[in-house]
Amino acid sequence: MRTVPFAVCVLCIWLPAAGAPPADGARGGRLVYAQRAEPKTLNPVTAIDAPSREVIRRMTGDLITVNRRTQRPEPNLAESWTVSKDGRHYLLQLRQGLRFSDGHPCDADDVVFTFQVYLDEATHSPQRDLLMTGGKPMQVRKLASHSVAFDLAEPYSAPGRLFDSLAILPRHLLEAEYRKGRISAAWPLQSAPERIAGLGPFRLKRYLPGESIVLERNPFYWKTDGKGVHLPYLDEIDFLFAGSEENQMLRFLAGESDVLNRVSAKNFKALQTEQTRAASRLEDLGPGLDYDFLVFNMSASSGRPWFRMREFRQAVSLSIDREAIARLVYDGRAVPLWTHVTPGNKLWVNTALPRPARSVAAARGKLAAAGFSWDREGALHDPAGQRVAFSIVTSASNQERTQMATQLQDDLKQLGMNVQIAPLEFRAMVDRVMNKRQFDAAVMGLGGGDGDPNSEMNLWLSSGATHLWDPNQKTPATPWEAEVDGLMRRQLTAMDYETRRKLYDRLQQLEAENLPFICLASPNVLVAAKSTLGNFDPVNVDHYTLWNVEKLYWLPAHSGGSR
């Protein structure tokens, strides 16, 4: 084995969990989990939909996991790792005695094979972009049977996060498919269970088309509890395909499913009134990472010059009754937002920013100062005399966003703006906003699993494709966008948290001043489970409830687990 020719700093930090430490449970029982939609595949390389990933995550293992409770990287299949001082070289040590769920041993060859597959352009894996630094793929070398080296073209500021959720693949089952160029067609839902193997706590038992996927305990899973009992505690997980949030609710209320992963505030309220019947535990975990916002089309081609006027956006922001959105749309289970980083993102939120209260008078003052005027009927006209009228597109299937848009319409009427709402089918809306750029304004939501600024590179870079208000700019259109570009690039390669945090604080300050999108609210993460589910420790980031599935168990009082 070659010695590693650089100074190493150990980044493996163990932090105590914020909640109670997990209790030692009892083995046995079945957990029923109703999914919103049917998964499309069991292939971790090509899966793109949330239901597929929900299932695949329970069947596979990654090298380093970000603990969803502490938000810190934790050893998983790699028992330790080191990072070079320049942040470009990683050395990972695999655990001894790892076995796939079919009993086949796992070593460095599997890891090298896995990264070869993900990084191969011909595989078309959506995860490939995450493994690129400075536009180049990372290099992966086997050093010994249980140690692997990774070389990056540029330093990456969030070591460990690179490896999270990247499922290690069994070379013995998939290499032949890969050589034939058929890796992306491997492991469809109908696969025979013995053809699929992973390093997660569960493995495939049975698939009923349109109905359910049943996973059973992986007898070769490496993790043990405090007493040395092999995890997971549960014998089986049933993933039922409910089809809609309403059906998920129904299954839970009827006692057929045991966990509700995320429910809307209105449904949560209904759960509270029915709680006694289902003997369930409801938890409001506070705001998650999602943010709802109003975004204007600031491209030069939009034909609405006011969208590019900062005073206009500030006036709009001042006129919005965010409290009413939190109260009416989310039944009080949301926080009003002024920038896109939610209070739920404790590591990164800038709490020093002002939160101007709603004031129609102040908003009108801003508009008047910028040369806008009102006619006798109270309608707003821009400095050129054009009537201020525009439409807001939103996703028709999302009741909350439609309601938000309706309230915005009412708020903006106070300023004399004539706003139409166009609820569109979700993909039609995405097409308008992202591809065709034929829209005035949109009410949308973003967020999700990762609170780290690195996941937002393409959102903030003025050249980014998801720079919603004016994407793919050749050169930054405004000075503040140029500054944001610099801030994001610098934080991507800065290696310590404090530096990155300062850069990101400045970004949020620029965001609050210039309002490229006008943030509205962040809904609380609301979950529920049967009260007899032990070690149930939901968190406010994806995956909310099943992230510690291997430790879940049924308390003795439970009678339904072994139905």
Q: Token pair 């796992």 is at which residue?
A: 106
Quick one: which segment of 92-100, 360-368, 461-469, 496-504 binds another protein (CB under 8 A)? 461-469
Quick one: which segment of 147-155, 171-179, 378-386, 426-434 binds another protein (CB under 8 A)? 426-434
Give strand ranges (E) for 258-369. 259-260, 280-287, 291-296, 334-336
Cα–Cα–Cα angle for 93, 95, 96, nearest 5°? 120
For helices 310-319 and 360-369, the axis angle rounded to 10 degrees is: 170
Q: Interface with another protein includes 189 (CB under 8 A)?
A: yes
- Closest CB to another protein among 8 and 185? 185
The one-letter amino acid at 489:
R
Residues between 296 and 335 with contacts to another protein, criterion CB under 8 A: 321, 324, 327-328
Residues between 490 and 529 with contacts to another protein, criterion CB under 8 A: none
- Closest CB to another protein among 250 and 362? 250
Least distance to another protein from the beta carbon of 77, Å? Answer: 22
Residues between 465 and 494 with contacts to another protein, criterion CB under 8 A: 465-466
- Closest CB to another protein among 153 and 446? 446
Q: Are the C-beta atoms of residues 328 and 511 closer than 8 Å to each other? A: no
Residues between 389 and 408 with contacts to another protein, criterion CB under 8 A: 391, 393, 395-399, 402-403, 405-407
Backbone dihedral angles phi then psi of residue 429, each to the nearest 5 degrees: -70, -45
Answer for which of 32, 260, 315, 503 binds another protein (CB under 8 A) is 32
Widest CA span in the chain: 83
Q: Interface with another protein includes 194 (CB under 8 A)?
A: no
Measured between alpha carbons, how far is 40 from 59 in angstroms, rounded to an integer?
15
Q: Are the C-beta atoms of residues 325 and 474 closer than 8 Å to each other? A: no
Burial classification of residue 72, based on how many CB atoms lie within 10 Å of its CB (0-12 exposed, 13-18 middle, 19 or more buried): middle
Answer for which of 126, 134, 219, 356 binds another protein (CB under 8 A) is 126
Answer for which of 130, 153, 353, 495 binds another protein (CB under 8 A) is 130
Answer for which of 5, 16, 103, 210 binds another protein (CB under 8 A) is 210
Nearest to 461 by CA among 443, 448, 473, 444: 473
Quick one: which segment of 139-147, 219-227, 436-444, 535-543 binds another protein (CB under 8 A)? 436-444
Q: Interface with another protein includes 195 (CB under 8 A)?
A: no
Q: Are the C-beta atoms of residues 511 and 340 closer than 8 Å to each other? A: yes
Radius of gyration, CA atoms only, the chain: 25
- Closest CB to another protein among 38 and 283? 38
Least distance to another protein from the beta carbon of 4, Å? Answer: 30
Least distance to another protein from the beta carbon of 434, Å? Answer: 4
Least distance to another protein from the beta carbon of 390, Å? Answer: 8
Q: How far is CA 458 from the centre of its chain?
A: 15
